[in-house]
Amino acid sequence: MPEPVIAQKAPYVQKMEPGEYWWCACGRSKSQPFCDGLHKGTGLAPKRVEITEAKTVAWCGCKHSANAPFCDGTHSRLS
C-alpha cells in the first residue's frame, strides 16, 4: 500500500457542525484536513466521517494515526 504524505506533524483542531465529511488520507489535498480529489492515482482514498453533533475534532494531520481520521499522537513519533 502506498505511504501517505505527511501534511503536518500536528492535528487539525476544528469546531465541526453535524454533517458528512471526507477526511484526506493521502496528505496531498490543498484543503486539509479534507479531500479535494488529489488522491486520484495514489491507491489511497479519503475516509467518510459522519459527525452527529457539534463538537471540536482533532483531525489527524500526519496521516499515520491508528485511529484515523482522528489524531492519536502518532505525529510526535514521526521523523
Q: How confident is the model at residue 15 (pLDDT cuts 50, 70, 90)?
A: very high
DSSP class per residue in the chain: -PPPP---SS-EEEEE-SEEEEE-SSS--SSTTB--STTTTTT---EEEEE-S-EEEEE-SSS--TTTTB--SGGGG--
pTM of this structure: 0.94
Q: Is the pLDDT of residue 13 over 90?
A: yes
Q: Which amino acid is it at 28? A: R
pLDDT tens digits for range 20-75: 999 999 999 999 999 999 999 999 999 999 999 999 999 999 999 999 999 999 99
Residue, of 79 and 34, whose pLDDT is higher: 34
Domain locations in the chain? Answer: 12-77
Q: Which pLDDT belongs to residue 1? A: 72
State yes or no: cis peptide before 69, omega within 30 of 0: yes
Whole-number Cα distances in Å, 69 to 25, 32, 39: 8, 12, 16
